[in-house]
Amino acid sequence: MNVAFDDHNHDVDTQRITTYSGRHINPLKPRTGDAPIVDVAHALSLMCRYAGHCMYHYSVAQHSVLVMEIVKLLYGEEYAKIALMHDAQEAFLCDIPRPIKQLLPEFKAAERKWEEVVWNDYKLGEDRGRKAGSELKCEARYDGPTYHAISKTVIKPADRLALIAEMQLLKMPNCRVWDFKDKFRLSDIQGLFELVLPIPPEEAKARFMKAYKEVFGE
């Protein structure tokens, strides 16, 4: 099959990507409405964790649901939305390994912009069933310090537990077993281990969408 390419097309916008739903967005300068759930769920379901260095395809979508369930189990329902969407920006920026990400200040700046867009678009500060008197108050509009306080206290500990469970249950070769000295241990989430069993992308997408509809009431 012969495919002709127009090397003289100067109208191509190299700052934009085309998403699954057909939107043209600038991933470094996201705007309100740039992260519809159909794009988030689809892209994350096809994106493999650990830069693909695992025994089976294990998607960011499947991981996101696991983190949400860990948060619900250990911290309560009030942060379920934030947990499910904690990696939503990766649908547009990809899952970059941490050592590389630390060398890319512009990438980290883009991540912060996506955090704001996702927080505001999905109203993550208005979680249903938030406990009265909670130490971590959710602001309706994105507020950097608030987001990072919740991330540090709730999301990241759950993310670390998910990491340990994934690396052991997915039988990653020569995997390191970290002791993060967090409050909770792997034994505290034993009932969720089945969520780590590898599933195909279309199933991961369906699981993510099911979780989305449950926590967002849609």
Q: What is the 3-state secondary structure (H, E, C) of 103-144?
A: CCHHHHHHHHHHHHHHHHHCCHHHCCCCCCCCCCCCCCCCCH
Q: Counting Cβ atoms within 10 Å, is residue 179 exposed (0-12), middle (13-18) or buried (19+)?
A: exposed
**Percent over 70 (pLDDT), the chain:** 83
Q: Would you kindly state where each structural domain of the chain is located, as residue ranges? A: 31-216
The domain made up of 31-216 has a fold known as Hypothetical protein af1432 (1.10.3210)
Q: In this predicted structure, what is the pLDDT of residue 167?
A: 86
Neighbouring-strand partners of residue 48: 59
Neighbouring-strand partners of residue 17: 25
87: confidence class by pLDDT, cuts 50, 70, 90: very high
Res. 131: pLDDT tops 60: no
Q: How far apart are the C-alpha atoms of 67 and 6, rounded to whole Å?
A: 45
Res. 207: pLDDT tops 90: yes
Q: Which pair of structure tokens corresponds to residue 2?
A: 């012969």
101: confidence class by pLDDT, cuts 50, 70, 90: confident
Q: Which pair of structure tokens corresponds to residue 211?
A: 């979780």
Q: Counting Cβ atoms within 10 Å, is residue 73 exposed (0-12), middle (13-18) or buried (19+)?
A: middle
Neighbouring-strand partners of residue 59: 48
Between 60-69, 98-107, 149-158, the lowest mean confidence (pLDDT) is in 98-107
